[in-house]
Structure 1
Amino acid sequence: MRFGAFVPQGWRFDLVGIDPAQQWDVMSGLASTIDADPNWESLWVYDHFHTTPQPSDQATHEAWTLMAAFAASTARVRLGQMCTCMGYREPTYLAKVAATVDLISGGRVEMGIGGGWYEHEWRAYGYGFPSAGERLGRLREGVEIFRQMWTTGSATLDGTYYQVDGALCHPQPVQTTSEANRIPMWIAGGGEKVTLKIAAQYADYTNFDGTPGKFEAKSAVLQQHCEDLGRDFSSITRSSNYNVLIGSPAEVDATVRRVEERYAPYLGSQKAAAAAAALREQPLVGEPEQIAETLRGLESVGMDYAICYFPDAAYDDTALRRFSEEVIPLVTT
């Protein structure tokens, strides 16, 4: 199994109380910690503009700006977004941005991409909020544009949503896959009729619900789409995201209380308590051996890549370090 870690960027009220002028230092410091630890293959950010589950005046740092900054400030770790919203940037522009960041990083970019869901952001930024069908249609056409630009250096598509005519992408991405110079594509989302079919056609990686029963069900749907398209199902790495609360019951309780305290000024006490308490229901909660046992069970049904979020990471990286030192070795050895 392979592992990635999220760097807090504010979207989940996870930089509250830190002076905005100091937030890059916090994020960069965590990125350096992850970069220096070979147990972590990748670091990740979210592609959002406003906090969730409630928009607020708290900082939320932009994903691709962070990608460029991390590309320059780290040396080893791979760099991903979970996941870039296709509707927030034209795919030709985004392909060019990603190729440039790939060059800066020496070939370490992962492209996490999805249809987008956060309606408040869409409308607030003037993008409207298209139907799910249109958002997924844009996703399909956008990943086709990516594929063309990264493998041939240009893209032409007379699509329903995007019309491009000889859009150039030079320099090309510097990393090499089995096909060409191309950035690995992560198709995020578990929609069974459309999203997983797009994943079966284009994805190097998928990312969907990581609870055991749901993961198996989504995997079965993906496998069927692969069979229908003639794609080798085993060529797609399946991943999931996890909120991690590591430690004794008392340590878990303390983490939940801290999250609730950060949420309360923005969500109100009742919603803050409910949002924080929901973290307890996640699969990776408990002592290191408990978490490792859960991961081994997930691995047995094909979950190959876990991307971990630690709620307190901006304030104290103990949980991130404990996971690396006490959980990962139990799963990978």
Structure 2
Amino acid sequence: MRFGMFVPQGWRYDLVGIEPAEHWQTMLSLAEYADAPDSVWESMWVYDHFHTTPVPSATEATHEAWSLMAAFAASTSRVRVGQMCTCMSYRNPAYLAKVAATVDHVSGGRLEMGIGGGWYEYEWRAYGYGFPSIPERLGRLREGVEIMRQAWTTGSATLDGTYYQVDGAIVQPQPVQPGGIPIWIAGGGEKVTLKIAAKYASYTNFVGSPEVFTHKSEVLRAHCEKAGTDFEAITRSSEFFVVIGTDAADVAARLDRIEARVAPYLGPDATERFMAEYRAGGPATLVGTPDDIVARLEERSRLGLGYAINYFPEAAYDRSGLELFASEVVPALR
């Protein structure tokens, strides 16, 4: 199994209490940790969002993903950099293809392109994008990925689509990476998203119970068979929210500290919902000791999970959870 880690950027209230002037240094320090020569982390990631969640805040920061991509590309040398995931409709796809190709050059060929249809209605409307129907958002995703693939493999893109029209959009230089930047299609929609993934993706990203993961994997396999693509060539990934401790008492103490940190900003009801993700132990969470988490990931590995991208809510304040995961979990699964 391969491993990536998220760098906190504020979206999930993971920089609160830190002065905004210190945010970049906090993020950069974690990027340098991920980039170290002896690091177990293959990749580092951010989210593509504009407003905080679960409560949009008028005062708390959410740093913009593609600005961070360029900055991280220039300030690291080994670790791969990505976003999970870029919202297709937030940027014109030909422009985004150009931006991504430039970032790939800045990084020396280390960029990953996570892309999806988008879902956070509040920020869509706040930024003036409206909030199109699911079919339209997925139609934009399909056309946008086609434009990016053309741009990165031929140096230009032309498409007279339903949602996007480009006519000889030049993207030079092409990406450093042969064949273009790897595309990660995020989402588990069975009729459209996984069909797009079967045609274009090097990676998928979806989460669910073991039963759901297995089912969606088989749906992806069927789409690959129809598209004439190789199911085994697509790496399946999932994102996990991780709280890891040396024992049960340590885990409980870490959860209590996270709750105390966000409660002044979220209020009681939103805090309860926020913490429920961790305390309930759902399919997108890895909460427990190293042995607990290894067992969960071993099960997913047997089902075909090849890449785990891990979000640590403590990372900006306490790196010990990251380090415990790196020293105890990763070696057991490699």
What TM-score range do you get, normalising by the shorter chain? over 0.9
Counterpart for residue 8 of structure 1:
8
Q: How does 1:194-273 map to 2 (within 5 A)?
A: 194-247=192-245, 248-273=247-272
The unaligned stretches of length 5 or more in structure 2 are none
Letter in 2 for 1:18: I
Q: Deviation digits for residues 13-66 of structure 1, max 9, x if unmatched?
A: 000000000000000000000111431100000000000011002000000000
2:42 alignment partner in structure 1: 41
1:273 positional shift: 2.3
Q: What is the TM-score of this pair, normalised by structure 2?
A: 0.96
Match of 1:193 in 2: 191
* CA distance, structure 2, for counterparts of residue 34 and residue 148 of structure 1: 32
The reply to whether residue 326 of structure 1 matches residue 328 of structure 2 is: yes
Structure 1: any 5+ residue segments left out of the alignment? none
The answer to whether the 8 Å contact 1:204/1:236 transfers is: yes
Give the whole-Å Cα distance in 1 for the aligned partners of 2:165 and 2:237. 32
Structure 1 residue 210: Cα displacement: 4.4
> What per-residue deviation string (whole Å, max 9, x for no partner) do you get for residues 86-135 of structure 1?
01000011000000000000000000000000000100000000000000
- Choose 149-158 or 291-300, whichever is displaced more: 291-300
Distance 1:105 1:99 in 2: 10
CA distances 1:152-198 after superposition (whole Å, capped 9, x unpaired): 0000000000000000001110012xxx2x00000000111110100
Aligned equivalents of 2:292, 2:268: Cα separation in 1: 31
SS of 2:224's equivalent in the other structure is helix
Which SS does the other structure have where 2:135 is aligned? helix
Alpha-carbon distance in structure 1 between the residues aligned to 2:230 and 2:259: 44
Offset at residue 245 of structure 1 (A):
1.1
**Number of matched pairs:** 328
**Secondary structure class of the residue paired with 2:95:** helix
RMSD over equivalenced CA pairs, Å: 1.0
Please give the residue correspondences for 1:85-96 in structure 2 after superposition, counting only pairs within 5 Å: 85-96=87-98
**Cα distance between partner residues in 2 of 1:294 and 1:102:** 34
| Letter of the 1:126 counterpart | G
TM-score after normalising by structure 1? 0.96
| Match of residue 291 from structure 2 | 289
Whether the 8 Å CA contact 1:210–1:241 is kept in 2: the answer is no
Mapped partners of 2:244, 2:217: distance in 1: 27
Does the aligned pair in 1 maintain the 2:251–2:289 contact within 8 Å? no
Distance 1:263 1:314 in 2: 13
Shift of 1:270: 2.7
Moved over 2 A (4+): none
**Are the equivalent residues in 2 in contact too, given 1:210–1:242 (CA < 8 A)?**
no
3-state DSSP class of the match of 1:284?
strand
Structure-2 separation of matches of 1:104 and 1:32: 16
Letter in 1 for 2:54: P
Residue by residue over 1:226-255, the C-alpha shift from the partner in whole angstroms, topping out at 9 and shown as x without a partner, is 111111110100000001111122222222
